[in-house]
Amino acid sequence: EKIFSGFSKTRDNLAVIDELLTYWNLAETDRVLDELEEALLVSDFGPKITIKIVEILREDILAGKLKSGSEIKDALKKSVLDLLTSKGNKTELQLGFRKPAVIMIVGVNGGGKTTSLGKLAHRLKKEGTKILMAAGDTFRAAASDQLEVWAERTGCEIVVGEGEKAKASSVLSQAVKRGKKQGFDVVLCDTSGRLHTNYSLMEELIACKKAIGKIIFGAPNEILLVLDGTTGLNMLPQAREFNDVVGITGLILTKLDGSARGGCVVSVVDELGIPVKFVGVGEGLEDLQPFDAEAFVNAIFS
Ligand code: GDP
């Protein structure tokens, strides 16, 4: 089982819970739960989830169902796991049987979109998948160059738009057509990420989705939203907007290696009902891990 070494900063934030529970006794329940609440908030579980978890623990303690610090800790881990698995099922990529499967990667600039696309290509390629990359961020001049570097690094082929005025939707549809004709298994589509408040980005993403749909006769198999894990709960409004406009099938949370706010994983899954499919825990090729709820819970509450 994967150990999420990437969550060490969040784990440090939550280590206080262990100390608290070691010395827990019934008379100190309120104080202990107050401090536990504080620790969860500091790690960006968010007020809604934190209160839900703490109140369930309080009820079970007062009802005599939890009789020791270690039972409380197990109950805490179980409620976090339940929150993650009740809404965030299907954490594995759903690529279907039709070839090529199409994965669109969306998200705002700087979140780790291109890096995640490269790491995902590397991971799929290792499994024997024939990948075609598509440089759909035609807005930022350097974006295609950056993706070409990843294509070279991972040994994947790539479709890049011609000229500065290439339309994102035509680059992607060209790539999917080629993918179909030449027997690629997966077409990995990069997209633009200029500020999400700019309405035309959302229009462009809709146009991209439609253009792909015309060729594969349906929606892309996956539309993965890349979110910067260091922004913690601040990622929520942005995630909601992308989901409302394009319909997100899964999340990639990046930079969790540098974030003490890993609790946001639970909040974002609970709020949006979208599964986390991968987490980014570093800048290297191998630093994209499939999300495993149980391993995550064990890593943050070790
Ligand atoms: P984009 O603008 O969304 O395509 O973002 P990039 O892929 O260019 O990434 C922005 C920066 O974040 C780069 O310096 C990446 O190396 C870095 N980055 C991306 N993912 C991770 C991650 O999981 N961990 C760390 N530490 N850095 C990351």
Residue in 220, 18, 233 with CA at minimum distance from that of residue 106 = 220
Q: How far is the CA of 254 from the centre of ligand 1 (A)?
A: 7
pTM across the whole model: 0.93
Contact 281, 289 (CB under 8 A): yes
Residue in 200, 251, 196, 202 with CA at minimum distance from that of residue 223 = 251
Q: At what angle do helices 264-272 and 47-62 cross, to 10 degrees?
A: 100
Closest atom of ligand 1 to CA, residue 108 = 3
Closest atom of ligand 1 to CA, residue 117 = 7
Task: Please name the amino acid found at residue 118.
Answer: G
User: To test the ligand 1 pocket, which listed residue (10, 119, 283, 291) has its Cβ within 8 A of the most ligand atoms?
Assistant: 283
pLDDT of residue 191: 95
Q: How far is the CA of 24 from the centre of ligand 1 (A)?
A: 41
Q: Half-sphere exposure of residue 265, counting CA atoms within 13 Å on the CB side?
A: 32
pLDDT of residue 101: 98
Mean pLDDT of the chain, nearest integer: 92
ipTM greater than 0.90: yes
pLDDT of residue 119: 97
Q: In what order do the strands lie in the sheet with 101-106?
A: 157-160, 131-135, 186-190, 101-106, 222-228, 250-254, 276-280, 288-290
pLDDT of residue 200: 86
Name residues contacting ligand 1 (CB within 6 A).
107, 109-115, 193, 254-255, 257-258, 280-283, 287
Cα distance between residue 128 and residue 118, in whole Å:
15
pLDDT in tens, 48-99: 999 999 999 999 999 999 999 999 999 999 999 999 998 656 789 999 999 9
Cα distance between residue 22 and residue 69, in whole Å:
6
pLDDT in tens, 202-215: 899 999 999 999 99
pLDDT in tens, 25-46: 899 999 999 999 999 999 999 9
